Amino acid sequence: MSTIKSNKKRPMARALRIPLFQREIREHLSLSAFDVLLAGARILSEGQVAQQDSGPTYYGSTMVTLDLERSGDHLRGPLDASTAEKLLLLCRQDGAVRERLFDVARREATRLAAVALSDWDIEMTVTRKAARLLIDLDVEARAEIPAWAVR
């Protein structure tokens, strides 16, 4: 004869006190690691200053390709498509990362314009292809052309 065990559940313990703080685990991008990725990035830029009714304006684009696999000697962890997807999301959300990318676009625009630029408007699009991030930065800025240079 077999013994049938009782399947009675214990009653839930009553909470007399609740915690004041909740714990949350968040992931964020290491800025040092992102700087390593940027140092090995392929950067392609184009643009020029055009005369507009509002004055001389720079229009250009900078494309930054971050290849995770190429940075394998300097970074720890899996450097695959799933990591690239996570990096893509963090690039869109992290203000410090966005600012580093905008700095790249500003440097490239200033180099191509060969004049000081101000009133920046930068739009960023981030996509992924395998373990690479493709970042497009479209730039518009007012060109500060000295009066002596205008004919």
Whether 80 is covered by a domain: the verdict is yes
Residue 97, SS3 per DSSP: helix
pLDDT at 3: 59
Token pair belonging to 46: 């184009």
**What total number of domains does the chain contain?**
1
pLDDT tens digits, one per residue of 64-119: 999 998 887 888 888 889 999 999 998 888 999 999 999 999 999 999 999 999 99
Residue 137 covered by a domain: yes
* Domain around 89: 43-143
Domain for residue 13, yes or no? no
Token output for 82:
């799933």
pLDDT tens digits along 7-66: 667 777 676 777 788 888 887 788 898 999 999 999 999 999 998 888 899 999 999 999
Whether residue 150 is predicted with pLDDT greater than 60 in this model: the reply is: no
Tell me if 91 is assigned to some domain: yes
Within a domain: residue 100?
yes
Asked, for residue 83, whether it belongs to a domain, the answer is: yes
